[in-house]
Amino acid sequence: MGFIASRLSRIKPSPTIAVTAKAAELRAAGRDVIGLGAGEPDFDTPEHIKEAAVEAMRAGKTKYTAVPGTIELREAICAKLKRDNDLTYTPDQITVGCGGKQTIYNAFMATLDPGDEVIIPAPYWVSYPDITLLAEGTPVFVDCPGSNKFKLQAEDLEKAITPKTKWVVLNSPSNPTGAAYNRAEMKALTDVLMRHPHVWVMTDDMYEFIVYDDFEFVTPAQVEPGLYDRTLTLNGVSKAYAMTGWRVGYAAGPVEVIKAMNKVQSQSTTNTSSVSQAAAAAALNSSHDFIAENNRAFKERRDLVVAMLNDAEGLTCATPEGAFYVFPSCAGVIGKKTPEGNVIENDGDFVTYLLETQGVAAVQGEAFGLSPYFRVSYATSNAALEEACKRIQKACAMLL
Ligand SMILES: Cc1ncc(COP(=O)(O)O)c(C=O)c1O
């Protein structure tokens, strides 16, 4: 027996972090690499949020906080959920962790027993299956192909539910596709869930504010109040507020589950940084005008990338409702040969070809559970995106 615990053999390191690291490595070796793998905005955290952090430090808010987070932050979260989502929560129904990722980890560690099933629509954010597996649960994938705009269909959800189903994970707008459920689409899913009272909903609303073209964001417990008692609403400040490095995510839900999550956190990180919590409270409580400004830039980039990728031979790219990703199909290049004579057999081969010949780093769809696709993050400058898309067009044109 090796020294490393066998539970680790069930999971893999994050493939998106791996692509970012590979791009950095090539860049350090002198290659001209454009990274389209990053899952974070290129914008800086707004000044007023940084100021709140400095003020907190000066005021001596540099000690441990309560495990679920400071009362100021939890009150700000309750106010946010009321204001933006028409959901009523009290601070004891809120837990704050080190990023959205830790709150998901805490939730699964707190609720999954071996054999419990977690329904995960595919394509999915890479961490859902691996956190499920770490917590000894069983991921149950439901295909959401491009022909369904990458969205879970009511009948497919219904078919996937078994007596062992504990959670269904919904993520809208989605990483990696940017697809988001409108009210009618969400209602179709919540109607199914109303018929299965043993199934809980984990809704990951991390990209709530990053939506375009007047899209109206909705969250399950808002669309179907009957699900309130078995919904965990997850959110955070990482994406919309450009605060990925501050590590603040939160969950709202029934007290029993929140308490269990706090128990997990009390034996791991205790609390996220006190200074970050002060910054997050300021972010939630102050003007959100900068988000609209950032979204205007993101929308321009989305439109640029979608148009240019659709002009690449063998690629087709849908226009998503939100987030800062597109998920083009590369079905039209599969089976073709590179100038060196290598056959592109799958999306992994295609992204390797892009990286090696053009210095463009994207992530293969296989990592997110749906092939043949790849994910492009457009959270980078227009100039870099334009150059990257030109290189992708060139790479496609060179295939035989
Ligand atoms: C869908 C989704 N949920 C959660 C997270 C985690 O965010 P955080 O940085 O707050 O842990 C991410 C980050 O990439 C994400 O894409």
CA of 40 to the centre of ligand 1 (A): 9
Say if ligand 1 is within 6 A of residue 236 CB.
yes
Does the beta carbon of 101 lie inside 6 Å of ligand 1?
A: yes
Q: Which residue's alpha carbon is nearest to atom 16 within ligand 1? A: 175
If DSSP codes are grouped into helix, strand and coil, which group holds residue 233?
Answer: strand
Q: 229: which 2 tokens?
A: 């008692």
- Burial code (b: 16+ CB inside 10 Å, e: under 16) for 253-272 equals beeebbebbbebbeeebebb
Which residue out of 20, 102, 105, 125 has the highest number of ligand 1 atoms within 8 Å of its CB and is therefore the one to mutate? Answer: 125
CA of 125 to the centre of ligand 1 (A): 8
Determine which residue's CA is closest to atom 3 belonging to ligand 1: 206
In tens digits, the chain (400 residues) has pLDDT values of 689 998 888 888 777 777 778 888 888 999 999 999 888 899 999 999 999 999 999 999 999 999 999 999 999 999 999 999 999 999 999 999 999 999 999 999 999 999 999 999 999 999 999 999 999 999 999 999 999 999 999 999 999 999 999 999 999 999 999 999 999 999 999 999 999 999 999 999 999 999 999 999 999 999 999 999 999 999 999 999 999 999 999 999 999 999 999 999 999 999 999 999 999 999 999 999 999 999 999 999 999 999 999 999 999 999 999 999 999 999 999 999 999 999 999 999 999 999 989 999 999 999 999 999 999 999 999 999 999 999 999 999 999 9
Give the C-alpha separation, 185 to 167, whole Å.
19
Q: Whose CA is closest to 100, among 157, 169, 42, 158?
A: 169
Can you tell me which atom of ligand 1 is nearest the CA of 237? Answer: 10
Cα 302 to ligand 1 centroid, rounded to whole Å? 20
Read off the pTM. Answer: 0.96
Q: Within 13 Å of residue 121, how many CA atoms lie on the same side as its CB?
A: 32
| Beta carbons of 11 and 134 less than 8 angstroms apart | yes
How far is it, in rounded angstroms, from Cα 282 to Cα 175? 26
Q: Looking at ligand 1, which atom is closest to the CA of residue 236?
A: 10
To test the pocket of ligand 1, the residue of 239, 248, 375 to mutate (highest count of ligand atoms within 8 Å of its CB) is 239
Would you say the CB of residue 204 lies under 6 angstroms from ligand 1?
A: yes
Contact 146, 329 (CB under 8 A): yes
Does the C-beta of 41 come closer than 6 Å to ligand 1?
no
Whether the Cβ atoms of residue 102 and residue 265 lie closer than 8 Å to each other: yes
Q: What span, in angstroms and rounded, lies between the C-alpha atoms of 34 and 28?
A: 13
